[in-house]
Amino acid sequence: MRGFASTMAERRSWSAVVEIAELAGDAESGATDRCLPIAEQVVALLTGLMR
């Protein structure tokens, strides 16, 4: 269960990394907008597994 909790905490880091890469020109324009819904789905799935 700890692994799920730490993964949920890392979701913010994933989003920040994609945003920084986009701003630096290393990721496509709009990558952050596409990443956020996926990150939210990961949190929803892990929340269900933790119950």
pLDDT by residue (tens digit) across 11-24?
A: 667 778 888 999 99
Q: Write down the pLDDT at residue 5.
A: 65
Domain limits, the chain: 2-50
Q: Write down the pLDDT at residue 23.
A: 94
Identify whether the C-beta of residue 11 lies closer than 8 Å to the C-beta of residue 43.
yes
Identify whether the C-beta of residue 51 lies closer than 8 Å to the C-beta of residue 6.
no
pLDDT by residue (tens digit) across 25-50?
A: 999 999 989 988 888 888 788 777 76
Q: Write down the pLDDT at residue 41.
A: 87
